[in-house]
Amino acid sequence: MMYSTWVSRGPEVKKLLHLNNFEFGALSILYPLGGLLIIKFASALVHRFSSRIVSNMCYTLGSLSFIAIGFSIMHGNIYGTSIFLGLLGSAMATLDYVGNYEGNLVDKASKRSVFSSIHSAYGLGMMTAAIFAAFLSNRKISLQINYLIVAIVAFACGIFTLIAIPKHHDIEINNEIKLLHKIQNKQAWRGKRNRLIVMVAIAFMMSELSAGIWVPIALTNTGFSSGKAAFALSILWVIITFFRAIGGVVVDRIGRYRAVKYSALVTGIGIALFMANKEISLPYLSLFIWGAGTAIGFPMCVSALGDNPELSPARINMIITVVYITSISVGPVLGAVSQFMGVYLSFIIPVLLCAIAYKFSYATKKEELFKN
């Protein structure tokens, strides 16, 4: 909800801080940069303090940072916005690790594929926040009030984690365990299958992140109001949430590899159709196809890396690290391209990455079936 609110009201942030496309893209780096600086320690933090304590601490830090971001934006303070955006990214990156780690444990314990539906909770938050942002924006309610309300919800989620997440990782970290973590982390980066899966995951994350950051900007450039652009983004998240909720059924029927392969193809088609918005003006249809395609791609990549329970913590830490490296590139890369070629043409980057994901999707087959 916090990230969705940030991107849904992006056009207003850009205007209030007097930023051009490139500068707004550069500002957007600070969220994933904050995450990248902390994610290396996420696994150790969970093993030392437990998932429930780490989650509670991160929700608290995230909600307080989000309130401060809203205050800074409304007062035109670019420096305050930058600092607290970085802190928010640190909290959210750690929560990404915890959610994927715990979710993978649940998925492997289940007889059916449930990881996609677990990820639909993320889509539900994005969708709800985007609709709420559009509602408030259309009624001229300030961005600061929007941020405050969402921060309160996030703080409540932090309290709920103390009840919902079991105490099953409270162990003492000794030198032997530290050495094992270090070895596993190195092995995760060396495996060919792991690297190919990460390439596939980058494509889906680039398509998802570029939608969140740049779709509202693109639509406002072609006549949409800020409220209507936020509503259009909410449509995308409605579709992503729906297809993630039913994604387990799809994966059980056609298999994980085919689900990823066809997802890459459909995502590329949806983005390409959105790029032609000025000529054919079908933004909602293109966002529908885009969302349907990108919905289960990334969750299935995480699931594939979790095939080996002993190595899954290091591998999941690796993919979340890559997610935040990708997040850093989305803002400035698409921002720089859009500054010279226009926002719509900048989406050619995720389209090309989807083609790469289609080619290497075979890496998401069961680990025992993968051949070098």
Calpha distance 140→360 (Å, rounded) = 46
Say if residues 187 and 311 touch (Cβ distance below 8 Å): yes
CA angle 371/107/314 to nearest 5° reads 60
Binning pLDDT at 50, 70 and 90, where does residue 172 land? very low
| In the predicted structure, residue 168 carries a pLDDT above the cut 70 | no
> What does 272-304 look like in DSSP terms, one character per residue?
HHHHTHHHH--HHHHHHHHHHHHTTHHHHHHHH
Binning pLDDT at 50, 70 and 90, where does residue 86 land? very high
| In the predicted structure, residue 178 carries a pLDDT above the cut 70 | no
Half-sphere exposure of residue 159, counting CA atoms within 13 Å on the CB side? 6
Q: By C-alpha distance, which of 274, 310, 279, 306 is closest to 293?
A: 274
| In the predicted structure, residue 247 carries a pLDDT above the cut 90 | no
pTM score over 0.85: no
Residue type, 29: I
Calpha distance 24→6 (Å, rounded) = 12
Residues 6+ apart with CB under 8 A from 354: 203, 207, 264, 265, 267, 268, 271, 293
Other residues' Cβ atoms within 10 Å of the Cβ of residue 242: 17
Q: How many residues does the chain have?
A: 372
Binning pLDDT at 50, 70 and 90, where does residue 65 land? very high
pLDDT single digits (tens) 185-220: 556 566 788 889 989 999 998 898 888 778 888 888
More confidently predicted of 171 and 157 = 157
Calpha distance 115→260 (Å, rounded) = 14
Calpha distance 113→251 (Å, rounded) = 7
Calpha distance 283→131 (Å, rounded) = 17
pLDDT at residue number 171: 47
As to burial, measured by CB atoms within 10 angstroms (0-12 exposed, 13-18 middle, 19+ buried), residue 177 is: middle
Q: Phi/psi class of residue 18: alpha, beta or left (left: φ > 0; alpha: ψ in -120 to 50)? A: left
Lowest average pLDDT, out of 219-228, 261-270, 279-288, goes to: 219-228
Calpha distance 357→361 (Å, rounded) = 6
- Give Cα 2 to chain centroid, integer Å: 12
Query: Taking all residues of the chain, what is their mean pLDDT, rounded to a whole number?
Result: 84
Calpha distance 366→372 (Å, rounded) = 13
> What does 193-243 look like in DSSP terms, one character per residue?
HHHHHHHHHHHHHHHHHHHHHHHHHHHHHTT--HHHHHHHHHHHHHHHHHH
